Amino acid sequence: MAIIKCENCGKKVSDKAKACPHCGRVLNQDPRLLNKARTGSNTAISTHKNSTSKKKNLWIVVCSTVITIVALMVIGYYWHERKRIPDAIRPLYEKAMSGDAKAQLELGNIYRDGDDYDFTDYTEAVKWYRKAAEQGIAEAQFELGRCLLKGLGDPEFHPDTDEGVKWVRKAVEQGYAKAQMQLGDLYENGYGVPQDIHEAIRLYRLAAEQGDDDAIHALERLGY
């Protein structure tokens, strides 16, 4: 069905109508006029389809471009990561990447100290310590807490005492002697926690009972 105009009143009517419903005039059923009306209708439909098709194709091109860019960025990142990892620690790095907590702790130590590799990266050290600490490794919890207390891993070296104390406490709860000594020192000096010499001595004793030399010397210094 197409739409034509009444020759009398000019209003739009269906080409199927025999008379104009607006003015009552019998409509001219000249096939040429009807074909013209139908052709105009088909052209409009064709134009709409072409417009929709172009928009669809443009959307596909945009999506493909975005996916390609993201894929290249991911590939570039991993290529960069692999290039900057010394061959000597690549097996350890692969284990740490797979989620091995002990490998993550060891990798944290390497990045913190740069042992034999001529590089130090505190941000990486904190990252790997955190991964191991979150898996419950007491030593990693202690090392993470100590780094945060010193501001290591922060671009401006600003200490994060709250977070640092939190992770040291987690290691203390597991009976880790170095963490007991560290928390005792914090209590003795009132750094990150309220100053409490009695709590400091209690923690020093816990560490000293495990043979921690620093705790033993701290107790001797305090006369205990």
Q: Give residue-wise pLDDT tens across range 78-104.
A: 444 544 677 889 999 999 999 999 999
Spans in the chain with pLDDT lower than 70: 1, 13, 27-50, 71, 74-84, 115-116
CATH number at residue 190: 1.25.40.10
If asked whether residues 96 and 64 sit together in one domain, one would say no
pLDDT at 20: 78
The residue out of 50, 81, 112 marking a domain boundary is: 81
Residue carrying structure tokens 């590089």: 119
pLDDT at 79: 46
pLDDT value of position 3: 77
Number of domains in the chain: 2
Domain range for 52: 3-81
Give the pLDDT confidence score for residue 10 in this predicted structure.
76
Residues 169 and 98 in one domain: yes
Using CA atoms, how far residue 197 sits from 102, 163, 173, 186, 223, in Å, is 34, 22, 19, 10, 12
Looking at the structure, do residues 74 and 101 belong to the same domain, yes or no?
A: no
For the beta carbon of residue 157, count every other beta carbon within 10 angstroms.
10
CA 69, 71, 72: angle at the middle one, nearest 5?
65
- Give the Cα separation of 126 and 38 in Å (integer): 74
User: Based on the domain organization, do 93 and 190 belong to the same domain?
Assistant: yes
Quick one: pLDDT at residue 80?
Answer: 44
pTM of the model: 0.64
> Is residue 173 within 8 Å of residue 207, measured between CB atoms?
no
